Amino acid sequence: MFCGTAGSVAIRTNQQGFEFYAHRHYDGDGKQRESYISGPVGDEAADAKALDLKARITEVKAQVADVRLLGREGFQLVDTKTYATLASLHLHGVFQAGAMLIGSHATNRSVRSRCLNFRRMQPGCRIWVIC
């Protein structure tokens, strides 16, 4: 699950000539982001991480047509900012820890910014995010 677009894997070079893999994508607010994956290019472990991410990106991009079809058939889809909020909460383990998101204002900007800063929750912890 990505908190925005799936993006792509790019090869970057720093000022010292070190080549590394980077993940280029847009976040939930539509801002372009780039994050370090691993390096150096050509290293077996770094190449494996980049290939794994490329496979996940390909899988997500293949599902986009199916999701759009569901939307045309009347299924309810969420907007990108709501998706980014829910994805962030999921990736930080909030729902696995027992949290429940309730309310129509749960996706406002202040909640989204706080959600992005959640630390991984301990299993069994009961948290309710009510807006």
Angstrom distance (rounded) from CA 44 to CA 31? 31
> Nearest to residue 1, comparing CAs of 28, 20, 21?
28
Angstrom distance (rounded) from CA 33 to CA 52? 19
Residue the block writes with tokens 């899988």:
59
Q: Which positions of the chain have pLDDT values less than 50?
A: 106-107, 109-131
Same domain (yes/no): 48, 12: yes
pLDDT at position 3 is 66
Is 86 contained in some domain?
yes
Same domain (yes/no): 62, 113: no
Strands 128-130 and 100-102, sheet pairing: parallel
Residue 22 sits at φ, ψ, to 5 deg, of -135, 150
pLDDT at position 26 is 86
Same domain (yes/no): 95, 64: no
Query: Which positions ≥6 away from 93 have C-beta within 8 Å?
Result: 120, 121
pLDDT at position 117 is 42
Verdict on whether the full-model pTM lies above 0.95: no
SS3 113: helix
Same domain (yes/no): 26, 64: yes
Is 3 contained in some domain?
no
Is 24 contained in some domain?
yes
pLDDT at position 105 is 52
pLDDT at position 1 is 61
Q: What is the DSSP letter of 119?
A: P
pLDDT at position 126 is 44
Residues of the domain holding 55 = 8-72
**Number of domains, the chain:** 2
